Each structure stands twice: as structure tokens, then as C-alpha cells.
Amino acid sequence: MTLFSVDGKTVVVTGGSRGIGRMIAAGFVEAGATVFISARKAAEVGKTAAELGCTGVPADLSTPEGVEELASAVDGPLHVLVNNAGATWGAPLEEYPEHAFDKLWNINVKGVFALTRRLLPGLRAAASPGDPARVINVGSIDGIRVPPMETYAYSATKAAVHMLTRHLARQLAPEHITVNAIAPGPFESKMMAFALDDPASRELVASGVPLGRIGRPDDMAGAAIYLSSRAGAYLTGTVIPVDGGVSSFTP
């Protein structure tokens, strides 16, 4: 096995039908992994799975039933779990609905915990001292810094994802399962469409990135593959910003 190889590994990517999840899933498929993707909308999951050459499993991971549907579709050892499925909500402070916190907690945090716990048998079956099983949680730079937009539940739940990552990492390290998080900055996604679809707004976002551009699919796939390969086998409990320097250099 070469340093960055994931060839032959079995990988689950939640929220894999579009955006960051699709970027990660496509990178694993191209690198020779066997990939399962999930999302709520069956038509989108099927379309993306056919385009990428992977297996699609429709599932709402904010519910116990959805967690069980996905877990039942993945047999045998599971080398990599990418918890990417998530949602956001923006509204002015005085109008911010309480149920937004409930919705985002269920999918962004509770869903990550429930699916990871349910898939532990497969992760344990794949784990070894030299090649741990991997859990990668997709957080956000908005869980690291205070975001400029009024997305209170989103930033709070993504900060919770980062802490959950550290907590799970400590618990699972003796079992040779690493748990790390990726904190994306601006990438093409439905969540960022409001800011990136308009050319002027897109240029404004890019100008706020120290490296001067929006993230590309291979930037995101590369971070996930690194964490899943021999190269990343000695990392656990980390939160890695993949943001062009935004969270490090922007006040």
C-alpha cells in the first residue's frame, strides 16, 4: 500500500449526492474505493450514484429509521465513515425560530453520533493497529470562528460536531479507530449558493480568502483521502480547516 492509497477500502459518505459530500465521494471512487452514498432524496441519490459509479442509499439520518436503513445496506468491514450530511438555517436574531435548533441538532449532531455508534461493528471489523478504521466528521469554519451571517443554530451545531469529534476520538483510540473533522471554508454547495451564484458576490467571497479563491473539489477530496490513508493513520481528535486560510488569518 502506498502512502496515500485508499484502494479497496469500503467508504460511506453521508450527504453524498451533491456539494461537499459528492466531492469527497467522487475522490474516493476515483482512488479505487468501494463507496456508498446516502441522502434524503432518492432521485438525487440514484442520479449521483449512477454518475459516480457507486452505491446509493436513500436515508434521512435525522431519524432512527434512516440510520438503520443506511447501516443495513453496508455489510462487512467498514474502513471509512464520512459524516457529511447537514443543514443550515439563517434568519435575523429576533426572528430566529426555536425549531431551527431542533432540526439542525438532529441532523448535524445527533445524526452523526447515532450513525457512528450504529456502524461501530463494521468499523471495528476493519480496524487494525497499522491501519485504523477512520471516522471523518464534516464540521465548518463557522464552528471555529464567529460567522458574519446570522446562522446561529448552524455555527453552534458545527462547534458541537468538533467537540463530539474529539470526544469520540478519545474513546475509540484504543480500538484503533481514528476520529477527525474537516472544517470547510467556501466551497460550491447548496448552502453557499446564495453567495457564490452571483458573480459579484462570488468575487467578494473569494477576495476574503487569503489564498484568493473558492475551494475546488480536489481540495476537499484530498483532505478526506489523506485522513483515510496510511499518511493520516497517526492523526486522531483533530479539526482541520480546509478554507484557504480564512479561519487562521481573518478576524
CA nearest 134: which of 3, 236, 15? 236
Query: CB within 8 A of 199, min separation 6: which ones?
Result: none
Long-range interactions of 154-163: CB distance < 8 A, separation 24+: 154/87, 154/88, 154/89, 154/90, 154/104, 154/108, 156/101, 157/86, 157/104, 157/105, 157/108, 157/109, 158/86, 158/108, 158/183, 160/105, 160/108, 160/109, 161/108, 161/109, 161/112, 161/137, 162/137, 162/239
Q: How far is CA 68 from CA 59, 171, 203, in A?
A: 9, 23, 42
Q: Cell for 248? A: 487562521
SS3 183: strand
SS3 215: strand
The residue whose grid cell reads 455508534 is 117
Cα–Cα distance for residue pair 93/95, rounded to 1 Å = 5
Give the active site residue among 96, 152, 154, 234: 154
Q: Is 96 a catalytic residue?
A: no
Q: Which residues are catalytic?
A: 154
